[in-house]
Amino acid sequence: MKFLERHPMIMIAVGVIGISLSAIFVKYSDAPSVVTAAYRMLWTIGLMIPMVLGNKEVKQELKGTSIKTVALCAVSGIFLALHFTTWFESLNQTSVASSTAIVCTEVIWVALGFSLFLKGKITKAAVGSIAITVVGSLLIALSDYSAGGNHLIGDGLALAAAIFTAVYTLIGNEVRKKLSTTSYTFIVYLFCGIVLCLATWLTGNSLLGHGRSAVIVGFLLAVFSTLLGHTIFSWCLKFLSPSFVSASKLCEPVVAAVIAIFLFGEIPAVLQVVGGLITLGGVLVYSRVETNGKNT
């Protein structure tokens, strides 16, 4: 574990792969978006319970968590639930490339919130690298949009999902200063699951009767995209800035687009390829800026 703490970029890479599979898995679910999201969280909570109950330190930490901290985790869970629901529905309205590219503009909202509300400082070089990644993501979205079809609703939902997850990330950056990754994510996921179950009921849907695909997709999302994705990024917040963690997620549209080529035959256009290369380039530049900043 000490090795990973000294080299958190390894975990960033694992997290990117995990979240990149999310859009792919969602495409295979026949259930409504809110139900798919609920299955994801229910599986996640179920898988985490043994880890929580079997760890005395975590149980002790949870018992000693202040009401204020729990409240912040609850708000974080609510915004995570909003993110999952809006983004999953976005994937039903537009392509994997377009949706993942737009949702990754999260970095803009995180950087803005970090500087305005958390009194964080972002260098000009960091702002420039963020701008590069955003331009790359927008080129991917533009290419997909120009191909035809009504993507406006899907694009708008993806943008809303980006803002929701930015709030989740910013709150996590503050709470992680007081809680371990396991305790923080368990509380957040618990509230997120409760919100999604309530949303399922309020929208007139049911958790039952959607076939095996929804259950299996929920399990895969829980393991790969949540535990090996969001949880890892939450862990990384202890060692890297929230802006960099969010910028790293901009690799998602590139990885997801490559996977979609083999599974769905979605051959990217030239503009999408160019946008993907620019996105990766921006993340690499930001990584160097962040590393140099910590070493000075």
Q: Count other C-beta atoms under 10 Å from residue 51's C-beta.
A: 12
Q: Backbone phi, then psi, for 185, in 5-degree steps? A: -65, -35
State how far the Cα of 7 lies from the Cα of 102, in Å rounded to an integer. 29
- Say if CB 177 and CB 40 are below 8 A apart: no
Q: Give, in order, the Cα–Cα distances in Å from 9 to each of 34, 76, 102, 230, 244.
A: 32, 24, 24, 15, 11
Q: Count other C-beta atoms under 10 Å from residue 213's C-beta.
A: 13
Q: What is the pLDDT of residues 19-61, one digit of tens each?
A: 899 999 998 998 999 999 999 999 999 999 998 989 999 999 9
Whole-model pTM over 0.85: no
Residue 292: what pLDDT?
Answer: 65
Q: Give, in order, the Cα–Cα distances in Å from 188 to each of 3, 20, 69.
A: 27, 21, 11
Question: Phi-psi bin for 209: left (phi > 0), alpha (psi -120 to 50), beta?
Answer: left
Q: Give, in order, the Cα–Cα distances in Å from 228 to each of 6, 33, 232, 235.
A: 19, 21, 6, 11
Please report, in tens digits, the pLDDT of each residue of the chain (296 residues total). Answer: 677 777 788 888 899 999 899 999 998 998 999 999 999 999 999 999 998 989 999 999 999 999 999 999 999 999 999 999 999 999 888 778 778 878 877 877 887 787 777 777 777 877 887 788 788 878 877 876 776 666 778 888 988 999 999 999 899 888 888 898 889 999 999 999 999 999 999 999 999 999 888 899 999 999 998 888 878 887 888 788 776 787 777 788 888 888 888 888 877 778 878 887 888 787 777 666 765 665 55
Residue 247: what pLDDT?
Answer: 72
Residue 295: what pLDDT?
Answer: 53
Q: What is the pLDDT of residues 144-163, one digit of tens each?
A: 677 666 677 888 898 899 99
Q: Count other C-beta atoms under 10 Å from residue 29's C-beta.
A: 26
- Say if CB 122 and CB 64 are below 8 A apart: no
Residue 233: what pLDDT?
Answer: 86
